[in-house]
Chain A
Amino acid sequence: MIKELITYPDERIRYISADIRKFDDELFELLENMRDTMEHHELNAISAIQIAMPYSAILIKDDERIIELINARLISTDGSEEIDEVNPYFPKGFSAKIKRYGKIKIVFENRYGELQHLDAEGELSQRLQRQIDFLFGGTLLDKLGKNERKEAENILVSQHEGVYDFGASCPRVFIRDYFKKGAKYLMGIVLLSFIAPFVVSPEVREMIFTIDKIALALVPVLMVIYFLYAQHEAKIYKQCTSCQIGNIIGTTAIMAVQLLIVSLGVFLWIAP
C-alpha cells in the first residue's frame, strides 16, 4: 500500500527508529508498504520513518535489485568525500555540501532475522549513510557546522515562509525572561547611583537613597514572580530544554547574590 511520504517540514523525521525485534507478518507488511511508496515516488531508497513508521528498516536500490536492511549498523568507515547531497525529505532544488565517508562496512539483518553484511562505496555508500542517519533521527542538516546549518535553515524557512518556523515547538522568548530583565535593569539603575556621593548634594543623595530602597524592594518581588512563572513555563514547555528547573533555581540564586551585594553597597555607600 502506498503511504504518505514524510517531507520537510514534518518533524516526525526526527523520531529515533526502534530496533525491529520480531520478524513476522507485521514486518513483511511494513516492507511491502515501503516498497510501494518508494516505487510510487520513484525513490532509490527509503527508510521506514519516511512513511512515519519509526522502525529500523531500509530499502535501497542497488542496480536492479532492492536490498532490505533491518537494524542496519555502520561499523567501519574509510576515507571522506564532500558531496552536494540532495535529500528526498527536503524540497526539490535544496541541497547542501556535506562530508560522507567514502567506503563503509555495514551489518544488518534480512527479513528473516539473519545477519548480513555489505561493503559499499561511492554513490551507494552515500545513500546508505543518508538512510542510516534517518534511523537515528538525523538529516543532512546534522552534518553541517553551526553557521552552515543556520544558513541552510534560513534558506528552507524562506522557501516555506508562513508555513514553518524552526523551533516552533518551543518559544523563541520565554516570558519569564522579562521579569529577570526587569530585576536586572533595576539593579543596574541602583548600581549607576553609586556615583551619586561624588557628584550630588546631601539632599539629592538622600532622595536617591530613598529611590534605591524602593528599587531594591521591587527586585525580590520580580524575582519571586520570575521563579513562580518560570516553574509554570517549565511545565508547559518541558520538552524544550532538559534542565529548566536547575537553570531557574541557579538563575534565582545568582540574582539573590547580586541583590545582596547591591543592597550592601546601597546601605554602606549611598546611605547619607
Chain B
Amino acid sequence: MARVVVLGGGVAGHTAATFAADWLGKDHEVVVVTPNSKWNWIPSNIWVGVGQMSKEEVTFELAPVYAKAGITYKQAKAVSLNPEGSTNSDKPFVTIEYTGQGKAGQSEEVTYDYLINATGPKLNFAATPGLGDANGMGEFTVSVCTADHADHAAHEFAKCIEKMKKGERQKFLIGTGHGMCTCQGAAFEYIFNIEHELRKAGVRDMADLQWISNESFLGDFGIGGLHMKRGGYAASSRLFAESLYSERGVKWLIGAHVNKVEKGKVSYELLDGSMGEESFDFAMLIPPFAGVGLKAYDKAGEDITATVFAPNGFMKVDANYNAGAYENWKASDWPRTYQNPTYKNLFAAGIAFAPPHPISKPMTTPNGTQIFPTPPRTGMPSGIIGKAVAHSVCDLIKKGPNAHLHEASMAEMGAACVASAGKGLFDGTAAALTVYPVVPDFEKYPGIGRDLDYTFGEIGLAGHWIKHILHHMFIYKAKLNPGWTLIPE
C-alpha cells in the first residue's frame, strides 16, 4: 500500500487529494494535512466582504467530506520535509504540527511515498510595515483573502456606511499593499462591489473611492492585461478598466509600492521613484504572497531548504529558473509536470510551486524598488494542475516509476474569471473574461502572446449569473456530491 500525502486543502490540494483517493481506491492511502478545518470558496469572499454573503455560505467542514472519500485527514500544518528520511529510516517523511482535532500543538512525523505540496501562500502581511506582522493582518486595514478576513471587512464596511448615513464623509482605499503583490483581480472586484453597495445604501455621494495598485497599467491584472472582442478587433482591458473607473468615479493610482501603513494613512513609492501618501478611513489592501516557510532536511539532518525551495519559499519544480531577463522569457520556461527536479516523489500544485518568472513586465524604480505584479494562480489553473499532479502520482503508483507524467502548463491552458460589481440577479454589471494562454506565448502568438480567438470578455449582468453558478457548482463539487468528477476544474 502506498501513501500519498497532500499538504494543503485549498483548490489545488483538495482537487489533488479527492481525485487521487477516487482513482487509487482502498488499495492505497491518501492523507491530507491542512491547518484549516473548513474549505473556502475564495472567489465568493468578495461578497462576504461587503456583507452580501455569510462566511458560512462560502465554507464547509472538511472532516465529513474526507471521511466520505476515505481520505485520512490531519488538521495540522506542515513544518518540515525530510525527503531522504532520517538516520534511522530511508522512508521520507513530513513533520506536522496539529492545529485541531484535540491535538493542537502536538507534532507527528508522517511518512509518505509521494507528497503533493499544495500549501497555498503565506499571506505575507509582515512585508509592509503596518500592514501586519508575523502573526498576520494588522489593525489598520482589512483583507478579503480568507473568509474570516472578509467577514471582518464586512463589519468594518457596515460601520463606514453608518458613519456616512450620519453625514461623515469616508474615503475607501482599495488595492495592493506591496509592490510585489498578485490578486489585483480580487481587489478590482472588491472596489466595484463596494461602489455598488454604497450606491444601494444611498451614500455613494458621501464616499471617495481610491484605487492603488502595483500594476503598470489599469487592467493588467498580473497577467499583462487581457483583451475583449469588439467589432472584430481585440480591445485592451486598459480601455475597459479606465472607462469603468471613470464612469464609476473611482480615482486610481498605479505603479505603486505601498511601503508603510499607519492609522488612516499609507505611504507609497511610485515607479518614477517619487514618494507619496494617501489617507483612508477604510482600506482593503491585498498582502504579498510567500511560501509557507517549510524547511527541508537531508538524511543527516543538514538544511537543504535551498535545494527544494526557491528563495521566496515556493517549491522548485520542472521550470526553467535561469531564463534571465524579460526579453528571454519563453512559454517553455513554465513547468509542465510540477515534479521536483531533485526528489522525484515530490510535486507541487497551485500557488505552492515556484514560477520561473513573472508574467507582467518587470519594472524597477530609480531607487531600485521592484514594482510589478507577481504571477497569479487562480482557481482554474490551480484545479487543473492539482488534478494533473494527482493523475501523475496515481500512475506512478499503479504503473511504476517509469509511468508517463501528466502535463498542465500554464502556457498552454486558459483561465476564466468573473469580476462582479454587485451580487443581484437583476441589477449591476460584471465582466466575464477568458484568457488563453494564461502565460503569453510570444513564439506561438507573436506580439501580445495570446490567441485572440480564445481571449475575450463580455460586460453585462450575465456575469453575476455566472458567478452565482460557479459558486454553487464548485461548492457542490468540493463536497463530493454525486457526479462531482464530471464538473470541470
**Is A258 interfacial (CB 8 A cutoff)?**
no
**A21 near B442: Cβ-Cβ < 8 Å:** yes
**Is A177 interfacial (CB 8 A cutoff)?**
no
In the complex where A107-B216, A242-B456 touch, is A137 in contact with B442 (Cβ < 8 A)?
no
**B239 near A136: Cβ-Cβ < 8 Å:** yes
**A107 near B271: Cβ-Cβ < 8 Å:** yes
Count of interface residues, chain B, beta-carbon cutoff 8 Å: 44
**B327 near A21: Cβ-Cβ < 8 Å:** yes
**Is B448 interfacial (CB 8 A cutoff)?**
yes
**Is A264 interfacial (CB 8 A cutoff)?**
no
**B residues in contact with A11, CB < 8 Å:** 231-233
**Is B361 interfacial (CB 8 A cutoff)?**
yes
**B residues in contact with A137, CB < 8 Å:** 233-236, 239
Within the complex, what minimum Cβ distance (angstroms) separates A99 from chain B?
A: 8
**Is A243 interfacial (CB 8 A cutoff)?**
yes
A82 to B150, CA, bound (A): 40
**Is A22 interfacial (CB 8 A cutoff)?**
yes
**A242 near B236: Cβ-Cβ < 8 Å:** no
In the complex where A115-B363, A137-B233, A167-B231 touch, is A238 in contact with B216 (Cβ < 8 A)?
no
In the complex where A19-B361, A105-B270 touch, is A170 in contact with B232 (Cβ < 8 A)?
yes
**B residues in contact with A115, CB < 8 Å:** 271, 363-366
**Is A210 interfacial (CB 8 A cutoff)?**
no
**A73 near B234: Cβ-Cβ < 8 Å:** no
**A residues in contact with B232, CB < 8 Å:** 11, 167, 169-170, 239-240
**Is A138 interfacial (CB 8 A cutoff)?**
yes
Closest A residue, CB atoms, query B246: A99
**A75 near B216: Cβ-Cβ < 8 Å:** yes
A13-41 vs B, Cβ < 8 Å mask (1 yes, 0 no): 01110110110000000000000000000
Closest A residue, CB atoms, query B361: A19
The contact of A76 among B234, B239, B246, B253, by CB within 8 Å, is B253
**A107 near B363: Cβ-Cβ < 8 Å:** yes
**A117 near B243: Cβ-Cβ < 8 Å:** no
**Is A174 interfacial (CB 8 A cutoff)?**
no
Closest A residue, CB atoms, query B238: A136
**Is B273 interfacial (CB 8 A cutoff)?**
yes
**Is B254 interfacial (CB 8 A cutoff)?**
yes
B24-55 vs A, Cβ < 8 Å mask (1 yes, 0 no): 00000000000000000000000000000000
**Is B447 interfacial (CB 8 A cutoff)?**
yes
A74 to B242, CA, bound (A): 11
Closest A residue, CB atoms, query B236: A136
A166 to B233, CA, bound (A): 12
**A73 near B271: Cβ-Cβ < 8 Å:** yes
**Is B373 interfacial (CB 8 A cutoff)?**
no
**Is B132 interfacial (CB 8 A cutoff)?**
no
**Is B326 interfacial (CB 8 A cutoff)?**
yes
In the complex where A75-B254, A239-B232, A242-B228 touch, is A107 in contact with B272 (Cβ < 8 A)?
yes
**A18 near B271: Cβ-Cβ < 8 Å:** no
**Is B302 interfacial (CB 8 A cutoff)?**
no
**Is A148 interfacial (CB 8 A cutoff)?**
no
In the complex where A74-B217, A136-B236 touch, is A16 in contact with B448 (Cβ < 8 A)?
yes
A76 to B446, CA, bound (A): 30
In the complex where A19-B361, A75-B270 touch, is A107 in contact with B255 (Cβ < 8 A)?
yes
CB-CB contacts below 8 Å: B187-234 with A = 216-217, 224, 227-234
A217-259 vs B, Cβ < 8 Å mask (1 yes, 0 no): 0000000000000000000001111110000000000000000
**A residues in contact with B364, CB < 8 Å:** 115
A70 to B40, CA, bound (A): 43
Within the complex, what minimum Cβ distance (angstroms) separates B143 from chain A?
A: 24
**Is A81 interfacial (CB 8 A cutoff)?**
no
**A residues in contact with B234, CB < 8 Å:** 14-16, 137
Within the complex, what minimum Cβ distance (angstroms) separates B273 from chain A?
A: 7
**A73 near B255: Cβ-Cβ < 8 Å:** yes
**Is A71 interfacial (CB 8 A cutoff)?**
yes
A242 to B329, CA, bound (A): 30
Q: Which of A15, A19, A170 has the most CB of B within 10 A?
A: A19
**Is A151 interfacial (CB 8 A cutoff)?**
no
Count of interface residues, chain A, beta-carbon cutoff 8 Å: 36
**A residues in contact with B274, CB < 8 Å:** 105
**Is B458 interfacial (CB 8 A cutoff)?**
yes
**A residues in contact with B363, CB < 8 Å:** 107, 115
Within the complex, what minimum Cβ distance (angstroms) separates B414 from chain A?
A: 13
The contact of B229 among A75, A138, A241, by CB within 8 Å, is A241
Within the complex, what minimum Cβ distance (angstroms) separates B333 from chain A?
A: 14
**A142 near B239: Cβ-Cβ < 8 Å:** yes
**B273 near A243: Cβ-Cβ < 8 Å:** no
**B231 near A18: Cβ-Cβ < 8 Å:** no
**B residues in contact with A117, CB < 8 Å:** 271-273, 366
Within the complex, what minimum Cβ distance (angstroms) separates B218 from chain A?
A: 8
A176 to B366, CA, bound (A): 58
Within the complex, what minimum Cβ distance (angstroms) separates A74 from chain B?
A: 7
A173-208 vs B, Cβ < 8 Å mask (1 yes, 0 no): 000000000000000000000000000000000000
Q: Which of B238, B453, B456 has the most CB of A within 10 A?
A: B238
Within the complex, what minimum Cβ distance (angstroms) separates A201 from chain B?
A: 45
Closest B residue, CB atoms, query A169: B232
A54 to B234, CA, bound (A): 13
**Is B375 interfacial (CB 8 A cutoff)?**
no
**A residues in contact with B85, CB < 8 Å:** none
**Is B457 interfacial (CB 8 A cutoff)?**
yes
**B239 near A14: Cβ-Cβ < 8 Å:** no
CB-CB contacts below 8 Å: A101-148 with B = 105, 107, 115, 117, 133, 136-138, 142-143
Q: Which of A99, A115, A167 has the most CB of B within 10 A?
A: A115
A18 to B452, CA, bound (A): 13
CB-CB contacts below 8 Å: B424-453 with A = 442, 446-449, 453
In the complex where A21-B327, A105-B270 touch, is A75 in contact with B453 (Cβ < 8 A)?
no
**B217 near A73: Cβ-Cβ < 8 Å:** yes
Within the complex, what minimum Cβ distance (angstroms) separates B312 from chain A?
A: 23
The contact of A170 among B227, B231, B238, by CB within 8 Å, is B231
A60 to B273, CA, bound (A): 23
Besides A138-B238, A242-B458, 9 other CB < 8 A contacts? A11-B233, A21-B442, A73-B255, A75-B253, A75-B254, A107-B272, A239-B232, A239-B453, A241-B229
Q: Can you sample 6 A-B contacts with CB below 8 Å?
A: A11-B232, A11-B233, A19-B361, A107-B255, A143-B243, A169-B231
**6 interchain residue pairs of minimum CB distance:** A117-B272, A169-B232, A75-B255, A242-B456, A14-B233, A136-B236
